[in-house]
Amino acid sequence: MKEPDDQDTDGGRSERSKSSGSQSRASSQYASRSATKEDDRILEDVTDETLTAGEGSYLGDDDSYGEDLERSSNSLQDDRESTGEFRHLETPGSAEEEAELKIKTISQSFFYDYMELVSIPYVSPNSGIPLELLILVHSFGYDCNKRANLQLLDSNTIMYIAGNQLILLNLKTKEQIYLRSSSGTGIGAIGVHTDKTYFAVAEKGVSPKIIIYEYPSLRPYRILRDGTDLVYAYVDFNYSGTLLASVGGNPDHTLTIWNWREEQPILRTKAFSQEVFKVTFNPEEDAQLTTAGSGHIKFWEMAVTFTGLKLQGSLGRFGKTTTSDIEGYMELPDGKVLSGTEWGNMLVWEAGLIKVELCRVKSKPCHQGPINQIMLDEGEVITIGSDGWVRIWDFETIDTADVIDETGLLEIEPINELHVDKNVKLYSMIKMNDAGNNFWLAQDSNGAIWKLDLSFSNITQDPECLFSFHSGAIKAVAVSPLTYLMATTALDCAIRIYDFASCTPLAHVKFNQGGTALAWVPRVVSFTGAHIIVGFEDGVVRVLELYDPKGLTIFAGRKKYLDADLHLKHVFKPHTAHVTALAFERDGEILATGSKDKTVFFFEVEKDYKPIGYITTPGPVCQLQWSPVSHPESTLLIICENGYVLEAPFPTIKEEVEDHDLVSYEIKDMCIKCFHFSSVKSKILQLIEIEKRKKRKDLKEKEKEERRKQLAAERGEDEETEFQEEEEEEEEEEEEPLPEIFIPLTPCHILCGFYSEPGKFWVSLGGYDSGFLYHCEFPPCDKSSDITEKKDEPLDFRFLEDTEDNPIHTITFSLNHDMMFCGLQDGAIRIYILSPNDSSLKTLENYWHFNVHDNNYGCVNSISTSFDDRFLVTTGADSNIFVFSIFSIFELRKTFRAKVPSPRLGIETEPTPGDIEDPKAYSIENARRKREHDRLMKEVEEIKSKKREELKALRNQFQKLLEMNEELPKHMQFKRTVSKK
C-alpha cells in the first residue's frame, strides 16, 4: 500500500537531526546523580552481549557466573566502544565546542498535519475510484490479547489498538474516534504521558515511527524515527514525562531512550536476544529502567562515564529458580524489583539476583498461573493474574522479605482479594483516578473490559463488565437478508448478534465448543429472517432462532428486557471434526455442511433438517457454494484445501426409505465431477518472461533499423556494412535461460473460490501459487477414473497486483456484481470495480486497496455486504470486526436501525431440544452405524440365547437318561467309557 510522504513543515528537520544540544542537556541531567558511583558501576554492570558470550552463563550456578563476570569486566571498559554494546549519541568534548554549535530546537507550538501524515487507500491510477469508497462506521472488536492494549486518557475516554486504527472510546456515550496509522502497516504499542496531555503511538513497518499526539486536540505533535527495524513492542514515559523509552520487537529488540520533545534519541542499545515484553522507568529514579520478557529480566541504568552518557544493563540471574517468562514487575523505591512468574509466585530481585521467592501459606502460589501485572498504589502492592484474581499485598512485608530456609520461599498472605468472574483472564489494569474512589479498568484477554472497585469496604461495588467482545480469531460472519443485523462466531465458543447500522451489540450466547462456520438462513426458509445456523469444532450444527424478547407475554417479576435473544431450535451432529462450511441451496430445499473430516452432508430443510446422506471428499472441505439462479441446474461447488474441487448434483431424496431402515447415510451413486488443480504458475511466469523478451527484441530491432537508415542516409553503404557486422557480433551474445518449470511437491491450499459459469469456477490459492486468480473448468464425470491421479490445469488466469506473498482469503460480490470485495492475508481490503455481466473477469484491473486489520496476524477471514449493499462488514484473525459504509452507493444516515424479528407465538413455552454437549458424542453417521451394530449384536445375542435354550433342553434330556440308566439292573446299564487318545 502506498504511503503519503511525511513532510517536515518547519523546514529544519535535517539540522535538528544533526544537533547534539539535546544530548548534552540530557547528559548533564544525570551527571549529578551518577558521578559518585560511575567508576564502580562501569565494572559491575554487564550487558546481555557480555553475559551471552556463552548464552547459558546466566542460567548456571553462582560460581560460574562470578567467574564470567570478573573475566568480562576486565576488558569491558576498553571494548565497549569497539563492540558497539552501548550505542549512544556522542556529546561535544567541551563546553567551548558546545557553545560553538548552533543549536536548533523544535518550537513548542509546532504541530504536524494529520492529513499529510496519515495513511490513505491506494487507488489504481486513472480509475476514477473515490478514496472515500469505504468509510469506517464502527468497530465491534477488541484485540484483548495484545499487551497493554487498554489506556486511559481521562475519566471518560479509553483508547486501544484495533488493527491499523487507534480507537478512542467514550465510556459514557460509547462514541468512537479513529486515528489511522501513518505507515499503513499497523500499530505495535501505545503509551500515555503521565499528565494525560500526550500519548504515543508506536507503529509497525520498515523503520516505523513513534507519533506523539496531543490530547484532547489529537494533533500530531512529535515524530520519533529510527528506533527499531520493524515493530515496536512497548513504550513508556518516565514519571516526569520528559523522556520516553521504547523497545523493539523481532528481529532487533532495540532499547531506545528518547528526548521526545526534541525528537532525539539519547541512548540506544540491544535490550536482549529474545523477545522483550516491556520496558519501564523507575518512578522514583529516572536514570533506572527495567526490561523483561521471554526467559529474562534486565536492570538498566543511565550513567555518565568517562566517554559520555551510557546505558548499562545487568541481566537478572535466576540461579536455582526455574527460568520464567516475566510479564508483570514493578520497581520498589529502594532499587529492588518485584516480578511475577509463570507459575504464579513473586520474586524479589536485588543486585541482579533473586533475594527471595514469595508464595502463600502451605507453598500455594500467589496466583494460579502467570502474574501479568504488579503495581504499587497508595502504599499497597496489587497483583493481577491470568486466574482472574486481583490480590492486595502489604508493601512492608514484601519490601523487607528475606530467605528463612533452604527452599528460598517466604510465605505471605494477601490483605484483600477480588475474584472478578469465572472464565476471566486479567491481562492489564489502569486506575481511573476518580476523586474519592478506587475504581480500575481491567483488560480481560478472554474478551472483556471490566470496571473494578478495589476499595474493599462494605459499600464496594461488584465487578461490572463494561464491554464484551470475541476473544481470538473470528471465524465467520453472516448478515441478515432482511435488515441490518449480523452474527459472528469464533473459537471462544460465543455467537454474537449486532445491529451494525446503529452500532449496537444486541445479544450473545456461549456453547461448550468453538464456532467455526456460520450462515444466515435465507428468507425462502425463514421468511422473517429469524434463523441462523452455526457449525462448531466438534462437528455439531445448531439452528438458532433470533427474536425480540420485548414482544413476549409479560410475567410478574420480569423487569429487564434484552434487545434480542437466541433460542435453540435444532441441533444435530453430521461430522466428527470442525464444521468448515454451511450452504443453503438456492430454493432453500437442501442444506449442505462441509467439514475437515472430508465429508459433505445433505439435509432436507423442510422436514426439520432430516438427513439425506453424505459424500466423501478427497480432502478437508474449506468452502461450499450452490450454483446461482442463473445456472440451469442446481449444483454444489465443493472446494477442498488440498487442491481438489468437486461439483455435486442436487441429491436425490428417497421418500419411501425410513431412517431406521438405512444401513448407512453414505451416497455412493452420485455422479460427481472432479477437478484436481495442477500448478501452472511457473508456466505463466515463463510465458510472461518470453513475452517480455520478445517485446525487448522487437524494440531493439526497431531501434537498429532506424539507426541503419539514418547511417545509410548520412554516410553511405560502407559504414552501413560495418554497422551490420557489429550487429552480428552483438547477436552472438547468448540470452539467459528461461525460468525452469516448477511444480510444488505439496499442493498449495485453495483458499476460496466461486462459480463463474455452469461447470466453470475461479479459485484463489496460497503458497507458491498465490498472485493469480485461476479460471478452471470441470471435466466430464468419470466414475472409473482415479481422482488421486488426475492433474487438471486452469484454462485462464488473472494477475493480481501485489499478492505474490499476500493471497486473497475470501471474496464476495455486490448485489449486481459490479464490485468484487476481497479480504487479504495481511488484513487489507481490496475492491475491484467490474463491468456488468463480467463472469470471466476481463475488467479485473482497477481496484481500491486499504490496510484495515493487523498486518501480521489480522488475516481477513470473512467479508460480507448488507442486504442492500449499503454496508460492508469484515472480520479478522486479530479479533476485530469493522463495519464500513459503501459511500459511493448510498450516503450513510444515522437514522438506520435494524429490526429484530418478533417472537413466534408460544416461543417462551416451547421446549428446547436436547443439546449435544459431549464433544465425543456420535455423529449422525456413526450413530446410525452404532444402531446397526447394536441391531446385529442383538440378533446375534438372540441366536446365542436360542442355542443356549436348546443346549439346556438337551442337557436336561441327557440327565434324565442318565437317571433312567442308573435305575436299571447293573447288567443292563450302559457303562461310560473314556476315549483313549
CB atoms within 10 A of CB 29: 18
- Please check the confidence at residue 8 and state whether its pLDDT lies above 70: no
pLDDT at 798 over 70: yes
Q: Which of 55-59, 283-287, 657-661 has the highest mean pLDDT?
A: 283-287
Task: Give pLDDT, residue 979.
Answer: 61
- H-helix or E-strand spanning residue 398: helix 395-399
CA dihedral sign, ordered 135, 140, 146, 150: positive
Question: What 3-state DSSP class applies to 936?
Answer: helix
Distances (CA, A) of 406 to 342, 356, 357: 22, 11, 11
What per-residue confidence (pLDDT) applies to 580? 97
CB atoms near residue 247 (< 10 Å): 29
pLDDT confidence tier of residue 972, bands split at 50, 70 and 90: confident
Mean pLDDT of 491-495: 95
pLDDT of amino acid 689: 83
* 528-571: pLDDT as tens digits: 999 999 999 999 999 999 998 887 765 545 555 678 899 999 99
Amino acid 44: pLDDT: 36
DSSP secondary-structure letter at 789?
A: G
* Assigned C-alpha cell, 460: 464496594
In tens, the pLDDT along 910-926 reads 777 888 888 888 888 88
Q: What is the pLDDT of residue 30?
A: 40
* Model pLDDT for residues 800-826, shown as the tens digit of each residue: 999 999 999 999 999 989 999 999 999
The predicted-structure confidence for 76-97, as pLDDT tens digits, reads as follows: 333 333 333 444 444 444 444 4
Spatial CA neighbour of 113 closest among 217, 260, 17, 185: 217
Higher pLDDT, 418 or 29: 418
**C-alpha distances in Å from residue 910, one per residue of 567, 568, 605:** 10, 10, 20
Quick one: residue 207, left, alpha or beta (phi over 0 = left, psi -120 to 50 = alpha)?
left
Q: What is the pLDDT of residue 732?
A: 52
Alpha-carbon distance 925 to 666, whole Å?
8
DSSP state at residue 550 = G
CB atoms < 10 A from the CB of 162, how many? 30
DSSP 399-457: HT----STT-EEE---SEEEE--TT--EEEEEE---TT--EEEEEETTTEEEEEE---S
What phi, psi does 56 have (nearest 5°)?
-85, 5
Could you please report the per-residue DSSP string of 81-95?
HHHTSSEEPPPPSSH
Report d(CA 230, CA 183) in Å as an integer: 11
pLDDT at 18: 33
SS3 78: helix
CA angle 597, 603, 604 (to 5 degrees): 175
- Kindly state the average pLDDT of the residues 144-168: 95
Residues 346 and 324: their CA atoms lie apart, in Å, by 11
- For 804, other C-beta atoms within 10 Å of its C-beta total 12
For strands 254-259 and 244-248, give the pairing: antiparallel
How close are the terminal C-alpha atoms of the chain, in Å?
94
C-beta separation of 587 from 639 below 8 A: no
Mean pLDDT, rounded, of the chain: 84
pLDDT at residue 742, as a whole number: 79
Q: What gap in Å lies between CA 460 and CA 447, rounded to an integer? A: 24
Residue identified by cell 430443510 is: 605
799, 711 Cβ separation under 8 angstroms: no
User: Binning pLDDT at 50, 70 and 90, where does residue 728 land?
Assistant: low
pLDDT > 50? residue 62: no
What is the structure's pLDDT at 723?
56
pLDDT at 776 over 70: yes
Lowest mean pLDDT among 15-19, 156-160, 395-399, 843-847: 15-19
Assign 719 a pLDDT band (cuts: 50, 70, 90): low
- 942-964 pLDDT, tens digit per residue, is 999 999 999 999 999 999 988 88
Say if CB 249 and CB 203 are below 8 A apart: no
**Nearest of 870, 867, 863 to residue 885 by alpha carbon:** 870
Domain 190-315 in this protein, CATH class: mainly beta
Collapsing DSSP to helix, strand or coil, 50 comes out as helix
Q: Nearest 5°: CA angle at 21, between 20 and 24?
A: 90
Residue spans per domain, the chain: 190-315, 926-976
The neighbouring-strand residues paired with 465 are: 450
d(CA 762, CA 774): 5
The C-alpha atoms of residue 157 and residue 174 are separated, in whole angstroms, by 9
What would the DSSP string read from start to end of 862-884? EEEE-TTSSEEEEEETTS-EEEE
Edge-first strand listing for the sheet containing 796-799: 750-757, 760-765, 772-777, 796-799
Residue 893 has pLDDT above 70, yes or no: no
Is the pLDDT assigned to residue 733 strictly greater than 70?
no
Q: Across residues 858-886, what is the average pLDDT?
A: 95
Q: Is 721 strand, coil or helix?
A: helix
Residues 530, 531, 537, CA angle at the centre, nearest 5°?
Answer: 150
β-bridge partners, 270: 254
3-state secondary structure of 80: helix
Tens digits of residue pLDDT in 196-207: 999 999 999 999
Is the pLDDT confidence value at 10 over 90? no
Distance CA 280, CA 245 (A): 7
Q: How far apart are CA 824 and CA 862, in angstroms?
A: 10
- How many whole angstroms separate alpha carbon 232 and alpha carbon 201? 9
| Non-local CB neighbours of 64 within 8 Å, separated by 6+ positions | 57
Rg (CA), the chain: 36
Residue where the block lists cell 465429508: 599
pLDDT per residue as tens digits for the range 332-364: 998 999 999 999 999 999 999 999 999 999 999
Query: What pLDDT score does 695 carry?
Result: 85
Among the ranges given (51-55, 277-281, 290-294, 608-612), the one the predictor scored with the smallest mean pLDDT: 51-55
- From CA 696, how far away is CA 694, in angstroms rounded? 5
| Greatest pairwise CA separation for the chain in angstroms | 150
Percent of the chain predicted with pLDDT > 70: 84
Residues 118, 223: Cα–Cα separation, whole Å: 12
C-alpha closest to that of 881 among 488, 533, 497: 488
Is the pLDDT score of 766 beyond 80?
Answer: yes
Question: Residue 305, Cα to own-chain centre: how many angstroms?
Answer: 45
The enclosing H or E element of 932 equals helix 924-967
Q: Which residues of 484-510 are buried (b: 16+ CB within 10 A; e: fewer)?
A: bbbbbbbbbbbbbbbbbbebbbbbbbe
Cβ–Cβ under 8 Å, residues 834 and 844? yes
Query: Coil, strand or helix: which one is 237?
Result: strand
